[in-house]
A and B are shown apart, each in its own frame.
Chain A
Amino acid sequence: MTEAFDILTNASLWAAVLRIATPLIFGVLGALLCERAGVLNLGIEGIMTMGAMAGWLAVYWGAGLWAGLLVAALAGLLLGLLHALLTVILGLSQHVSGLGITLFGSSLAYYLYRLWVQVGDLPPSIRPFQPLSIPGLSSLPFLGEAVFSQTAPTYLALALVAVAAWVLNRTPLGLALRMTGENPHAVEAQGLNPVMIRIGAVMAGSALMALGGAFLTMAAFNSFFPTMVQGRGWICIALVVFASWRPGKALLGALLFALFDAFQLRLQTTVSGVPYQLFLMAPYVLSILALILVARRARVPEALMQPYRRGER
């Protein structure tokens, strides 16, 4: 028990929580935007992998880190456009299209990586984002190390939570997006175009997902591996439900999952006699439990996964 307490009071744990949560925050915000507009985007794994590769490659070829993030977002936009064409314009199954994009995005990322990058004994690396030193804040005891020792994309992710919440709840655009996820016919009857709104939401959401992937290669690590997303996308899909489709709760969910993960990593090294697989499993088991407790009350967007065709009701 004392070990657990020691771990929880150690600032490095909380720093790790924010670091682990960052790609999840990007991913869950992206998935949330898509779903609020009524489109499930299971392409998230592939889009994150593609983002991880594209951003990294841009930097490897000499672009700046921020330009790399931009390239990653662009890759996400394109895959999002593909998903939108299939599901919104053609009205195909969102599940099938999403899984297809996951397979396509993951494979294409690795293919391009192998095509364009010489891989020797060690995978080539870049110089990633470094922790920002914020005058005054970073030197605070405990908080300085726990919160203010992160890389720039982490702060960007946190800021985007606030931006997403504001846009969704306070702007006419956000209202149109939410209404499209609830009843696209109502949107059309008010003179707006639900098809364009859905396409836009899926593209923007996919760009966010790709940024989540890019964080992995450009801040957390410094190289690209084809399997590095490792199910984080699926976790994001579950977190959206956990969050009842709300950005604030999505942040909470991402932090909670990251806490489980960071905690079990440290427990593995301090507690002996327990198979480490149990610890590895813990965050997922706890997530399922949390989902059961929270998600039963969730209010699903009414038109989620319902293709919109004009003139049909």
Chain B
Amino acid sequence: MKPVDARLRYAASARLFFGLGGVLAALQTACIVGFAWLVSSTVVAAIGGASLSMLVPSLAALVGVIVLRSAIVWLMEVNAARGSAIVKSELRRKVLASVARLGPGWLAGRSSVRVSTMVTTGLDALDTYFAKYLPQLILTAIATPVLVVVMLVADLTSGVIVVLTLPLIPVFMVLIGWATQALQAAQWEKLGALSSGFLDVVEGLSTLKVFGREKRQVGRIRAVTDQYRVSTMKVLRLSFLSGFALELAASLSVALVAVSIGLRLVGGDLGLGVGLFVLMLAPEAFLPLRQVGAAFHAAADGVAATDAVFEVLSADPAAADPAPAAARVASALGERTHGAAITRLWVSHGPLDDARFAVQDFSAELRPGTLTVLAGPSGAGKSSIVGAMLGFVPFSGTIDAAPIAWAGQRPSLLAGTVFDNLTLGSEDPSRALVERALALAAADDIDSAIVLGVNGAGLSVGQAQRVAVARAVYRLLERDCGVLLLDEPSSALDAATEARLIAGVRALAAGGVAVLVVSHRDAFRLAADQLLELAAPALAAEPSSATAALSAIRSTGAVR
């Protein structure tokens, strides 16, 4: 990590806190100088014979400085904590907006729990950076030079000693940092494996119990942890050296200053007041630097922990391709009111110029009033065709479709009532339409007032699946969409419920809707007017035969 991470430009709101932090740091420096000056002059006056009553004004001033100093300490921490909270909020909003812009296609390859953890607790790792490291960095940038100048003015020799010792700190730290880095690079993989060794055993415990091997692992845990200790200590011996260099430079410079002042005092070249004053300032010049050093590693870890956040932000140039999903779906709105035609559709696994294709030259016609079933083994491109129709994945070819109402493989229900879920995106929810949609989706046994938790908790898998279908049906009915697209709508349903669902879907088709169902269930195949069967892609064992991946389309064409 560089002293100030350039990627934090994403957090524009941080600037105000930098500015305020600078002002407070300057005040803090003034307090340090004032405190040292008042203490040293009071001691000198007392030794010179001043009585306590004569010292009352300086003592009162001292108390004033002390109160001011602790108030500034408080304000600095408040500023840092507030700054951190506001910067995190700004980053959270930016990341969520970016995730929304990048769309479901981008999310497909990622764990949604990990993405949301990154936005919530993941960003808390930045606290060490904003609330601890940066304020100390600002303080160092202001306090250390000012204190050095004050010392130079008060006592040139001491000032020079500090000026000469200070640069040793960064030099030592850089040298030691290089050495540590080289060692860490070599050790990193090993350390990672060793630290996760315990988790690996605990997570695999049920498997170990099946094979009666659970008790043998005790020795392995001990050995792995011991190896972890030995390897880590090897790294720590070096990386603690940077702390050692800081402490040593700071305390040696205090010692040098003290001894030099002492010897010159004996010679009568210097006053006691100046001597004590400089002695008290010397450690203060090093203190912020030492604290920056102490906070640096934690801050670097924190920033590294938020790498994923900045990756999202940089992955989102506003003109990302694919275009935002909502826009793509909307663009299809005006072109057609019934059915859909897919012509020469190609979808690649990766970027569009990638040679590997999930869908190759797929064409199909979804006629109003018909039920089309799309089948084939996974990997044949079913999901990619659905994704392309919804505008979630980039594709080449043309898809000319009436507005699509869709239910995906996962129910994807939101927290809230079943009613809220059904009327998602609706400006004027209709209870009658909700009841009708539930009935058509064979879900009329589900009370629309049931409140669901996160991720649709509260319904069984089969119930959730039917609610998701009902949601698509609601949209279809409300918006008069021409196409109903259902992805594996019956995988968790028993045969009787499936039959009712098929009847509902057929009824919708009879009303002039073009229905496309992705399903491997025989009941749906038998009910289809048109069956599109995708061929299996090339087997993993023979990746060279690219031609086998050509997804031949066999349309039965049996329109009933």
B is bound to A? no
Instruction: Report B's interface with A, CB cutoff 8 A.
Output: none
Instruction: Report A's interface with B, CB cutoff 8 A.
Output: none
